Structure formats: C-alpha cells, structure tokens
Amino acid sequence: MLFKMKKLIKKTIIFFTIIILIIIGSLVVLTTKYPIGYKSAIVKYSNEYNLDPYLVASIINVESKYDKNAVSSKEAKGLMQIAPQTGQWASEVLGIENYNEKMLFDPEINIRIGTWYLNNLFTEFNQNLDLVLAAYNAGSGNVNKWLDNDEYCKDGVELSVIPFKETRDYLVRIKDNYKVYSSVYKEYIMNPTEKDSLYINLLHNIKRVIKELVRNI
C-alpha cells in the first residue's frame, strides 16, 4: 500500500512538473515572439490620436520587434520605423524643438510620431484599416495609385489586389499580432507602469550579447 502511494505521489509530481515546464516554455515563446514594452507611451499616444493601443503594439512588434535602435535598409528608424522624411514632417507639425533624426531612437518621440502619422493615414483613407496598414508599409502614394488603377481596385474605395507581396504579408502579420496583443495582453497593456520597459531592454541586450558571441566564434 505504501509503495503504491509513493508511486502515485511520484507520478503526480512528474505530471505537475511537466505542466509547469510547458507553461514556462509557452511563456518564453510568447514573450520572445510577441514582446511588449513602452506601454505608457503606447497608451498615452494611442489615446491622444484616437487609436487602438493593441494595433499600435502590433505594428511596433512587426516593424521592429520592440528594438528601439532598429534601422531598416531604407533608413527608417526606431520602434515604429519612422522614415526620415516622415520624422521631419512630423517634427514641424508637432513642434518638436531642435529635432534631429537621432531623436527617432527615443521611444517616447518615436511612438508619438508613429501614432500621429497613423492618425493622419486613418483620416486620409477614411478609417479603412487595410488601406492604412498598406500605406504605412508601402507609402500612401502607392496606395492612392493602386486605388486609381482598375487592375487593383474596382470601386475606388477597396483594394481587390495589393500588388506588393511584402505589403500583403504585412497586413497578415499585423492582424495575426493583433489577435495576440488584444487578447493575451489585454489587461497588461491597459495598466502601464513607469518601469514597464525594463524586460524588453533586457531581452534585446541578451540578443545583442548572443549575436556578438556568435560573430566571434
């Protein structure tokens, strides 16, 4: 009887250990694939520019993986990958004093400009999310050209075809991210703290250390 009891306890411990490891592993995958940081700025400027904070969080992840120092091949910078000309335009409209491109690496300024620009796109494209996302990725000039082209648009309002594969994929990625951020992080994003970006900075520091180690091997 005692032997059976010990065996049962052992099996129970093993079972719960496996469950805990699965949960920890899932959390590691979640926070690596769908990190979150800078919640205070996301909520603040989403409210200011009448945007969905979960959409902003999704765009940041797709654009930069929450790396505030990210730079694209086209010189777009920071969390929301702001193009140089967009940054200059926004700085003049928003009255950002002594503006220079290095300021785009400041999360607060980057998110402020990114959300302001998104608000402009929503106004330009009559609140049509697909057009806004396409414009954020490919530029509003391209989207307007597509809307005027019968090959891509039948009614002048909705795109039936997005000619750029990168932009088509971009819309899918944003929407997939949105499902996660608006469900898994629902309460977390809406309850920001002043120290909500510590772990995201730690995550990117660890990534940089690993890259350096691999580079030097």
Catalytic residues: 63
140/80 Cα distance (integer angstroms): 16
Tokens 């648009």 sit on residue: 153
Q: Where are the alpha helices (DSSP H) in 34-69?
A: 39-48, 53-64
CB atoms within 10 A of CB 111: 25
Instruction: Give the CA dihedral 59, 73, 146, 158, nearest 10 degrees.
Output: -10
As a whole number of angstroms, the distance between CA 127 and CA 58 comes to 18
Give the residue carrying structure tokens 């765009």: 59
CA 105-48-190 angle, to 5 degrees, is 85
Q: For the chain, what is the radius of gyration of the CA atoms?
A: 22
Q: Residue 3 — φ and ψ, nearest 5°?
A: -65, -45
Measured distance CA(151)–CA(179) in Å, rounded:
31
Q: Find out whether 64 and 70 touch, Cβ atoms under 8 Å.
A: yes
Is 74 within 8 Å of 37 (Cβ atoms)? no
